[in-house]
Amino acid sequence: MPKIVDHDKQRRIVAEAALRVIRKSGLEHATVRRIAEEAGLSVGSMRHYFSTQEELFSFCMGLFVERVEERLENLKWEGPLVNDLKCMLLQFLPMDQERTLEMEVWFSFSAKTLIYPELKKLSNNMQDGMHKASQFVLDKLVANKLAKPGLDIDLETEKLYALIDGLAIHGILQRDRLMPDRIESIVEQHLRTLYFDVNQNK
Amino acid sequence: MPKIVDHDKQRRIVAEAALRVIRKSGLEHATVRRIAEEAGLSVGSMRHYFSTQEELFSFCMGLFVERVEERLENLKWEGPLVNDLKCMLLQFLPMDQERTLEMEVWFSFSAKTLIYPELKKLSNNMQDGMHKASQFVLDKLVANKLAKPGLDIDLETEKLYALIDGLAIHGILQRDRLMPDRIESIVEQHLRTLYFDVNQNK
């Protein structure tokens, strides 16, 4: 009986191995040979799953986007809104080991896009996701008539996006100083500056 | 007559060449050979100036810090304070070609510190500078009794620091979208949220 290999499952195994290699040794050392070794596959079999390195990296970035989307889908929108929005934004921040690993690799990819423009589109998905999340926060506040009067929505969207990314980077590069609970307080405080709380604003 | 070579000047020439190579080809391709070529020197003479690659990179980061410090020293503090503080923060942002190049290389270094912890201390100087600038902004507002009542100074320092770094990164990675004038508006608007303006707050 021939061995039945789940092609998509194997691609995921290879991608997960690639992510571990990238995390450990950096993107430029993530060679086919090393990834095959990490995945427990032969170098020859690798090309069944990915024909180019770019295809593999693209798949890896896709995995991240998928994971973030999965976390977003699993969020319970139980209110109050400001709390739900905070939980959503925290999905893009290094709050636990899984998210930290994702962001570290994403950061390596981002630095590379300066030199290899062909990688640029790979990182755009994640960036788009973060930008959309910021947009979503502002839109939601406006739609619920909860945005502070006089807010410049476009500017606040851009600002929130930069703040989240800045916190993400400090959270991974300076994790001894910027702990997850501190990140959470800053996000919460920032949302409160956007939020028109009837009880607070007499 | 023996050729008199200004050692420090030559070190600078080598470092400037290194920065151009890093920007063009990435940190991992900044080999002694390529840097020598870019600087118009022989490979053999390179070791007169830097005995290890780490020493060279360290010197490069030192150059950045020096340049930022030089720009900070040349700032004219003419008031109003909120404007002066904005000008100071903009020294850390990709507002022109020079600052963009600095930040691109700094970003490459930062991504590398995840994998090569020995590089970590090299990037700390610049990070410290940014963090101190944020601290300075908040301290200055407090000292001049211009900070909005009820501000959490530590949290606002951390938040401003993350915002500036986030804007810096978006300014270099997404420069078509986030233009210098947009960056400036966001910094200005953010300062106004911290600033207790007697004329605005009746």
Q: For A7-24, what is each residue's pLDDT tens digit?
A: 888 888 998 898 888 888
Alpha helices in chain A, H assignment, sequence order: 7-25, 32-39, 43-49, 53-73, 81-90, 97-113, 120-143, 153-173, 180-194
Q: Is A26 in CB contact (< 8 Å) with chain B? A: yes
Q: Is B166 in CB contact (< 8 Å) with chain A? A: yes
Inter-chain residue contact A110 with B111, CB threshold 8 Å: yes
Confidence of residue B116 (pLDDT cuts 50, 70, 90): low
Mean pLDDT, chain A, rounded, equals: 85
Q: What residue of A is the nearest CA neighbor of B153?
A: A186
Q: Across-strand partners of A195?
A: A147
Q: Is-contact B98 A8, C-beta < 8 A?
A: no
CB-nearest to A110 from B112, B162, B173 is B173
Percent of chain B with pLDDT over 90: 43
The number of beta carbons lying within 10 Å of the beta carbon of residue A188 is 16
Q: What residue of A is the nearest CA neighbor of B160?
A: A163
Q: Which residues contact B179 (CB under 8 A, 6 or more apart)?
A: none
Residue-range domain boundaries for chain A = 1-51, 61-194
Buried b (16+ CB within 10 A) or exposed e, B38-76: bbebeeeebeebbeeeeebbbbbbebbeeebeebeeeee
**What does the pLDDT average to over B125-152?**
90
**What does the pLDDT average to over B119-141?**
82
Which H or E run includes A134?
Answer: helix A120-143
Tokens encoding B148 = 């909005």
Whole-angstrom Cα distance, residue B96 to residue B67? 14
Question: Which residues on B lie below 8 Å from A166 (Cβ)?
Answer: 161-167, 169
**What does the pLDDT average to over A32-57?**
86
CB-nearest to A162 from B25, B114, B166 is B166
CB-nearest to B107 from A24, A114, A193 is A114
Least confident segment among A151-160, B152-161, B174-183: B174-183
Q: Pick the residue with more confidence: B163 or B35?
A: B163
Report the Cα B122 to chain-centroid distance in Å: 12
Cβ-based contacts under 8 A for chains A and B: 102
Look up the ipTM and state it: 0.84
Q: Is-contact A144 B141, C-beta < 8 A?
A: no
Whole-angstrom Cα distance, residue B21 to residue B33? 11
Q: Is A192 in CB contact (< 8 Å) with chain B? A: no
Pick from A31, A108, A99, A54: nearest CA to A39 = A31
Whole-angstrom Cα distance, residue B67 to residue B73? 10
Per-residue pLDDT at A123: 66
**What does the pLDDT average to over B37-55?**
86
Q: Which residues contact A182 (CB under 8 A, 6 or more apart)?
A: B158
- One-letter amino acid at B3 equals K
Question: Which residues on A lie below 8 Å from B193 (Cβ)?
Answer: 193
Q: How far is A69 from chain B (nearest CA, A)?
A: 22
B195 three-class SS: strand
- Choose the CATH number for B1-51 among 3.40.640.10, 3.20.20.80, 1.10.10.60, 3.40.50.12280: 1.10.10.60
Q: Which residues contact B52 (CB under 8 A, 6 or more apart)?
A: none
Q: How far is B40 from chain A (nearest CA, A)?
A: 23
Q: Is A89 in CB contact (< 8 Å) with chain B? A: no
Q: Is-contact A93 A164, C-beta < 8 A?
A: yes
What CATH code is assigned to A61-194?
A: 1.10.357.10
- Choose the CATH number for B60-194 among 1.10.10.10, 1.10.3720.10, 1.10.357.10, 3.40.50.1860: 1.10.357.10
Q: Pick the residue with more confidence: A120 or A62?
A: A62
Question: Which residues on B lie below 8 Å from A107 (Cβ)?
Answer: 110-111, 114
**What does the pLDDT average to over A116-141?**
80
Whole-angstrom Cα distance, residue B89 to residue B138? 12
Confidence of residue A156 (pLDDT cuts 50, 70, 90): very high
Cis, bond preceding A80 (omega within 30 deg of 0): yes
The number of beta carbons lying within 10 Å of the beta carbon of residue A186 is 23
**Measured on CA atoms in the order B168, B91, B184, A143, is the torsion positive or negative?**
positive
DSSP state of B145: T
Cis, bond preceding A94 (omega within 30 deg of 0): no
Inter-chain residue contact B162 with A170, CB threshold 8 Å: yes
Q: Is A19 in CB contact (< 8 Å) with chain B? A: no
Inter-chain residue contact B111 with A107, CB threshold 8 Å: yes
